[in-house]
Amino acid sequence: MEYWEIISIVAGFIIILVASQRLSFLFKKIHLPLVTGLLVIGIITGPQILGLIPAEAPEKLKFVNEISLAFIAFAAGAELYLKEYRSRMKSIRWITICLLSITFIFSSIAIFLVSNMIPFLSNFDISTRLGISLLAGTIFAARSPASAIAVINELRAKGPFTRTAMGVTVLLDVLVIILFAIIISIVNTLISDTSFNLKYVLILVSELTASFFMGWLLGQGLLFILSGKQSRTVKSFLILLSGLGIYLLSDFLRHAGNLYFEIDFYTEPLLICIIASFYVTNFTRYRREFLKIIHDTVPYVYVAFFTLIGASISIDYLAEVWMVGLVFFIIRLAAISIGAFTGSVMAGDPLRYTRISWMSFITQAGVSIGLVSVVAGEFPGWGTEFATIMFAVIVINQMVGPPLFKWAIGIAGEDHSRAKSNLPAESQRAIIFGYEAQAMALARQLANHGWDVKIVTSMKGINEPGIENISIEYCPEINYETLENLEAGKVEAIIALKTDIENLTICELAYENYGTHDLVVRLNNRDNFSKFHDLGVKIVEPSTAIVSLLDHFVRSPMATSLLLGMEENQDTVEIVVRNPDLHGIALRDLHLPADILILSTQRRGHMIISTGYTRLRLGDILTLVGSVESIEEIRLRFE
């Protein structure tokens, strides 16, 4: 009967999750974080309002909570890719040290001093209040890499300030989990009135050592899963099960320690999972596939985890303690401001970064809520009340943090979001010389991809086509003044479809006066090939182009469709390596989405046969093929 009850609850919960995933996007439309939406939906469907999720569900679905926590730890560890932060390591190191230490110490002391005024804390003895204050201080130090990444991608932010903020955010979550594993053992001792002695210190060291060793073993297990030939769906399922297995193993070791040795031997599953994820990301060749699995699976994990957390929140108690949550938020904000400012000064950052650095570290989400839920499960008596207050603080941080981070990026001058303009992008302009069917077809194709196209003709009386982003310009002669009037110096590409003599004049003018990035010519006479080739022009020979294209479609139809952009949501682009952090990194070590393929590398005008051991240089031009979303992500990081 108990198993049937669990199956019944799981089935109902899955139906609610489907609705929760859909409804949560409504919160994004009103500029609220997705996590907040999931928590609110969990509260509404929980036992205190609609009752769709029964009161016993959080306890019966404990395994869902454990699987989610493990996967959230995997996601946090996967973001810490050391090679990408090396140029800002000094700032990252100092800000991380100061933020962690000052936030933890300042917050713990402040909460302990006001504990007499907090309803659920005032009745406890000093040691218990100290323990709870230490736990709160630890959780206050946690950040939200997912929220930070969302803001960075939205603004297309890039630069030293953004790299520092992201590096500190990711590194802090790793260190906070290590600190949490230590603090929760200390709190257990404080609450049980056990004296601190050499035996206790040895147990604590043994717990940490065991956690690190188990993390390495789990990393080997993940490596075995990723190296298999199963589908990505099967691998995702096995990784989820491995996270649950760590929780079961940790519970078993704790039970065995109490039963046979009379010691409370606690290994922190979150720490184990984050170490395993860090190992796979930084020291194995399966990093890209692991990141792809994390990226594809974590949205579903978030829906289950945060909806279930919302259902367990006590609304009545939340209404009573919202003022306490606001006080805690102010304490955390003050601690972060002091820590970030101190760290920036110690690192020698410019004053314009030092003044705004605190605005980057307010957001909280996955790891923070995970730690709160661990406390609620570890201390059933007061853990629920503690969790309700902390959830209130996290929601406030999640509401205030992203706008502050956006503001800071704007002040730092690293906001590269699209401006409000009639043009889709500043550099996506092209001029086509010659009015004919092929010119119009090409113009339509470019316009569909967001380009602004001018078609230049010497024929009078040509009407405007009435197509957005396409215009007709009448120019009887081709000379420097003509190109100036057309603003040829501001275009990305010039396509010449006229006679070879006219085409050569256009290319020479553009080559000598503007250094236009892409010059494309339709060649009429093979004898003129070398004249255009010497200018670095991209040459299309109609007599051979169609035959070559048909040949490729016959021999490699899928590859040809992919390269021509005929596959849905796929594109082929060229990007320039401008990020100094990528200089010298081998292609095999790049942090690339799994659906991105590097086709070629061009350096100083010469094509390089790319292998995994080819090292990037600033100014390299990479030809990539992949999904549109992944290409935009790579463009942001590389350019």
Q: Provide the pairing of β-strand 621-627 with 570-576.
A: antiparallel
pLDDT at 565 over 70: no
Cα 305 to Cα 64: distance, rounded to the nearest angstrom: 7
pLDDT at 367 over 60: yes
Per-residue pLDDT band at 377 (split at 50, 70, 90)? confident
Quick check: 601 and 610 in contact, CB under 8 A?
Answer: yes
Phi, psi of 431 (to 5 degrees): -120, 130
Quote the tokens at residue 483. 């190109």
Cα 412 to Cα 157: distance, rounded to the nearest angstrom: 10
Q: Of 283, 272, 224, nearest to 248 (Cα)?
A: 272
pLDDT at 396 over 50: yes
pLDDT (0 to 100) of residue 429: 85
pLDDT at 423 over 60: no
Q: pLDDT of 85-105, one tens digit each? A: 777 788 888 999 999 999 999
CA atoms within 13 A on the CB side of 333: 16
pLDDT (0 to 100) of residue 156: 66
Per-residue pLDDT band at 543 (split at 50, 70, 90)? low
Q: pLDDT of 297-355, one tens digit each? A: 888 888 888 888 888 877 877 777 788 888 889 999 999 999 999 999 998 888 888 99
Residue for token pair 């994990």: 301
CA dihedral 294, 295, 299, 305 (to 10 degrees): 20
Which tops the pLDDT comparison, 27 or 357?
A: 357
Per-residue pLDDT band at 37 (split at 50, 70, 90)? confident
Tell me the β-bridge partners of 453. Answer: 430, 470
Cα 361 to Cα 147: distance, rounded to the nearest angstrom: 10
Strand order in the sheet with 538-540: 470-474, 452-457, 429-433, 493-496, 518-522, 538-540
What does the mean pLDDT of the chain come to? 82
pLDDT at 560 over 70: no
Per-residue pLDDT band at 218 (split at 50, 70, 90)? very high
* Cα Rg, the chain, nearest whole Å: 29
- In the chain, the domains with their CATH numbers are 2-50+68-411 (1.20.1530.20), 429-540 (3.40.50.720), 568-638 (3.30.70.1450)
Q: pLDDT of 483-496, one tens digit each? A: 888 888 888 889 99
Quick check: 128 and 361 in contact, CB under 8 A?
Answer: no
Q: Of 476, 474, 438, 432, nearest to 455 (Cα)?
A: 432
Q: Provide the pairing of β-strand 452-457 with 606-608.
A: unpaired
pLDDT (0 to 100) of residue 148: 77
The whole-number average pLDDT for the span 397-406 is 83
Min mean pLDDT across 228-237, 245-254, 499-508, 622-631 is at 622-631
Q: pLDDT of 231-251, one tens digit each? A: 888 999 999 999 899 989 988
Which 3 state secondary structure label does DSSP give 509? helix
Min mean pLDDT across 452-461, 499-508, 628-637 is at 628-637
Q: Provide the pairing of β-strand 606-608 with 597-603.
A: antiparallel
pLDDT (0 to 100) of residue 556: 66
Phi, psi of 453 (to 5 degrees): -120, 135
pLDDT (0 to 100) of residue 220: 93
Quick check: 439 and 402 in contact, CB under 8 A?
Answer: no
Per-residue pLDDT band at 426 (split at 50, 70, 90)? very low
